[in-house]
Amino acid sequence: MLNGVGDISKSITSEPMTTEPAIGAMTGLRVIDLTRVLGGPYCTQILADHGADVIKVEPPAGDEVRDWGPPFHEEDAAYFVGINRNKRSIGLDLASEGGRAVLLKLLEGADVLIENFKPGTLDKWGIGNDALRAKFPKLVHCRISGFGADGPRGGNPGYDAIIQAMTGMIAATGSRESGPMRIGVPLVDITTGLYAAIGILMALSERQRSGLGQFLETTLYETGLAIMHPHAANYFMHGKPPGLTGNEHPNLVPYAIFATRTDNIFIGVGNDGTFRKLAKEIGKPELGTDPRFARNKDRIANREALRAELAAVFCEHEAEPLCNRLLAAGLPAGPVQKIDQALTNAHSVHRGDVIEKDWYKGVASPIRLERSKPSLRRTPPKFSQHTHEVLAEFGYSNSEIDALLAEGAACGPTRKR
């Protein structure tokens, strides 16, 4: 029973992403994607997985992450492949008048424009937000930037690791032994893409009421600050920056890695009742009533003593059976797995968390709606693969397309190096 509504797993079937054509929640939405690298492409892949027609407009040199390898598939790096499925690619030189004219033609049928140019670039080309708003009043225009257009750092470029450094993440990550450490995934870029997707959906929802599009912006810098929880909240409360606690939590104990006889496990206890239950489950019920550990604030004050008690128990067990038993009892425990183990374990396989089509393999969309299924319709595109197809859809004749290619306003399949 869950909140009096029964077992939801039996009332709602969570089906994995399909490789068959499907009507997704974003079907009918057209997105013109001028973004490169990570945050923007991550955002538009979310929309594309759920049915949006995403036209990826690349500069003559292409999206630079096509080169961020090895490994490669036919000269496209895994870094590019992992965030650009379900899109069509067209190469345009937006620095040229002809390229901008094509972009404006594409925008005639678009719902969303997303770009990550340096603030002011589109204005310089005469296609800034004011010009777009006058011409396309229903268009939702999303910009991703490092710091925004104004302020002391307005217009500065943004990079994930630099923002991690500037917003306190690196200073809060690592142990006393390691010193400050960069988080091992591009968390700021990815979360900025998530915020951009949320903002786009908000703007589209508001458009249903007002009939108008609007400009929205997500910046790496504000994203970095926004996800610094609980460190920012703690600082506002007690005025102290976080120390380096390694894998442990500043506000909760036990919340850390422990060694077992086979592999490491992670234990994360969120309240006193859960701790007492854990103590009982591992055969040490007296720990749950020990005055040193009875409440979370007591466990924080006696962190090292509790660690020693738990370590002595866990080292007598094997990781997988122990975690399975604790999880089955409703306790927060998990084996510390490498990515190959995470992608191939029985639960990932059962849930369909890896999706395949032709040569492509990737992680399926984690957004699973009851009726509107995400789908893998297209493998990640080669550079400018769909230029003829897209331009023809927008009314260009073969001779007009050839002329655009000849003048360099549109691009053929070869990137300009």
Question: Any idea which residues carry the catalytic annotation?
Answer: 189
Strand pairing class (72-73; 140-145): unpaired
3-class DSSP assignment, residue 215: strand
398-407 and 97-107 are packed helices; what angle lies between their axes, rounded to 10 degrees? 140
**DSSP code string of 13-64:** --PPPBSS----TTTT-EEEE---TTHHHHHHHHHHHTT-EEEEEE-TT--G
Contact between residue 31 and residue 136 where contact means Cβ atoms under 8 Å apart? no
Q: From the CA atom positions of the chain, what is the Rg in Å?
A: 25
Instruction: Tell me the C-alpha distance between 179 and 304, whole Å.
Output: 20
Report CA-CA distances (Å) from 366 to 205, 353, 355, 375.
Answer: 22, 8, 11, 12
One-letter amino acid at 367 equals I
3-class DSSP assignment, residue 165: helix
